Chains A and B, each alone.
Chain A
Amino acid sequence: ETGVTQTPRHLVMGMTNKKSLKCEQHLGHNAMYWYKQSAKKPLELMFVYNFKEQTENNSVPSRFSPECPNSSHLFLHLHTLQPEDSALYLCASSQDGEQGRPRGTEAFFGQGTRLTVV
């Protein structure tokens, strides 16, 4: 069982659909992340949850809505997306220190969800 699992691996959705991406980590980490990887662009940090609290939202459009019900699960709810939202969405987790102080541990990534918006 891999440390960070993302489902589904591939998703095709219409612009009017609502779907959710799921991420689950089995590493006991307390921080989880959503990244977007578009073709020919750097990895873009979207959301950070630390101890289940959202600590960062990098100006992500409201059509992306994260949810972190517990420290092991992270969701990304999608609605009324645009074709330019097509990308690889990567989830990651790491073990941060208390009160958000970093331990500098590495982030472990899932295999990503390849999203295509048609």
Chain B
Amino acid sequence: AQKVTQAQTEISVVEKEDVTLDCVYETRDTTYYLFWYKQPPSGELVFLIRRNSFDEQNEISGRYSWNFQKSTSSFNFTITASQVVDSAVYFCALYNYGQNFVFGPGTRLSVLP
């Protein structure tokens, strides 16, 4: 069975702090894809990153970075120097053949000025 766990329901930080959102997944497949999405108050899920199971290189994009560790089945997301505009619900998702997308429950991030 496929499952995605985001243990942090809500996180609050003060602007300019760094924050890490955790994601742990379960799958029996060897080929799969992991994603992070951002859902601002407007409702639309905005794609942030895709990572396939054969690429464990960490990635950095501006203030965003992702740490993929197959050994612990984790795909954590770090925002450096957080800003108020980062306030949103963040979803981690898993996709593999025949299973479609499985989303975690989401982490609500509030960045306070």
Contacts and interface: CB of A to CB of B under 8 A. Distances in A.
B103 to A, nearest CB: 4
Given A104-B50, A106-B35, A111 B101 contact: no
Contacts of A59: none
Contacts, number: 52
Contacts of A108: 47
Interface residues of A, number: 23
Contacts of A61: none
Chain B interface size, as a band, is: 20 to 34
Contacts of B37: 109
Contacts of A109: 37, 44-47
* Best-buried of A45, A56, A102, A105 by chain B (most CB within 10 Å): A102
Contacts of B46: 109
Contacts of B32: 104
Nearest to A102: B97
A112 B43 contact: yes
A111 B44 contact: yes
Contacts of A69: none
Given A43-B91, A45-B101, A104-B52, A110 B47 contact: no
B20 interface: no
A1 B46 CA distance: 15
A90 B91 CA distance: 14
Instruction: Sort A-B residue pairs by CB-CB distance and give the 3 closest, nearest first.
Output: A104-B33, A109-B45, A111-B44
Interface of B: 32-33, 35, 37, 42-47, 50, 52, 91, 95-98, 100-106
